[in-house]
Amino acid sequence: MIHPARKKTASIQYGDSAIDFAIEPRSTDTPKVLIKVHPDCRVVAHAPPLASDDEIIQAVKKRARWIHRQMRYFEDQRKDILPRRYVSGESHFYLGRRHVLKIHETPRSAPEVKLLRGVLEVKTRTPQSEKIRSLLFDWYKAKAREVFERRLDEVLPKTLWIKEKPSIRLLSMQTQWGSCSPKGQLTLNPHLVKAPRECIDYVLLHELCHIAEHNHSEHFYRLMKQVMPHWEKVKERLDGMAYFYLNDV
């Protein structure tokens, strides 16, 4: 049996390809093995403690075609994304929309970033890519703080189990949009501000549901369905754009 505190890795063969996957514990509330394919092509099987290794492997084998298809989808997306150069003409996301980047070299003015009529304007004394990247990240982080606080105020009335408004911490992450501490502090990826408001709401609600239920149990998913009935479609939309939003992490 797999102990809840232990994490393991395993592999299955699908055609000519090997599918490596991690095994992580899931709540005892359900006997099902939940399989996820992340945008970075990590495959994770969330298994209840009583599931045997053979049961987990069989569950992964049954979903092998779907897993392989998801991995190919994310790999194809990755190939289409060019590395950031931080030059005029590039497109950058904010709240789900693409905005054209325009660089202004202003030797005598203070550095500044502003969004005006669909153009993301950056004023800088030194138009070097690293400097522009840094200015943009600071701008995204400031906007993320504003937007996340505002969206949290919007969704909180749906979460009746929350007694006090949680605090928000920002942390740039490569594979996570957010997390929730045992004490209820929310940690959110500032790059999430590039996604549509509905996707931001989904991440907030997901983490708020974890305050009531720390595991991905059936109770957790019932809460998610209650506060956002179509959360699975929103999650799929966010996952599908993850590489674009995280291209410059």
Question: Cβ atoms within 10 A of the Cβ of 221, count?
Answer: 17
Instruction: Give pLDDT, residue 119.
Output: 95
Q: Pick from 58, 79, 100: which residue ends a domain? A: 79
Tell me, yes or no, whether 221 and 108 share the same domain.
yes
Interior angle at CA 108, CA 104 and CA 113, nearest 5: 40
- Give the C-alpha separation, 135 to 122, whole Å: 8
Q: Are residues 27 and 147 in the same domain?
A: no
Task: Report residue 134 as tokens.
Answer: 């840094």
**Residue 35: closest CA among 74, 4, 61, 72:** 61
Q: 48: helix, coil or strand?
A: coil
Q: What pTM was estimated for this model as a whole?
A: 0.74
117 and 70 in a common domain: no
Same domain (yes/no): 166, 67? no
For residue 1, is it within any domain? no
- What is the DSSP annotation of 152-208? HHHHGGG-TT--SPPPEEE---SS-SEEE-TT--EEE-GGGGGS-HHHHHHHHHHHH
Tell me: do 129 and 231 sit in the same domain: yes
Residues 208 and 145 in one domain: yes
Domain C-terminal end among 79, 108, 141: 79
Are both 117 and 221 inside the same structural domain? yes
Q: Which CATH number covers residue 125? A: 3.30.2010.10
Residues 175, 234 share a domain: yes
Which residues partner with 123 through β-bridges?
104, 112
> Of 46, 79, 112, which residue constitutes the final position of a domain?
79
Can you give the pLDDT at residue 5? 41
Q: Residue 158 sits in which domain range?
A: 90-246
What pLDDT is recorded for position 201?
98
Query: How many domains, the chain?
Result: 2
Q: Tell me: do 112 and 228 sit in the same domain.
A: yes
Identify whether residues 133 and 19 lie together within a single domain: no
pLDDT tens digit at each of 249 positions of the chain: 333 344 688 999 998 889 999 998 875 556 788 898 887 788 999 888 888 889 999 999 999 999 999 888 877 766 556 677 889 999 899 999 999 999 999 888 899 999 998 899 999 988 888 999 999 999 999 999 999 999 999 999 999 999 999 999 999 987 789 999 888 899 999 999 999 999 999 999 999 999 998 888 888 899 999 999 999 999 989 988 888 888 764
Clarify whether residues 123 and 215 are in a common domain: yes
Does 143 map to a domain?
A: yes
Largest Cα span, the chain: 67
Q: Are residues 147 and 63 in the same domain?
A: no
In a domain, 4, yes or no: no
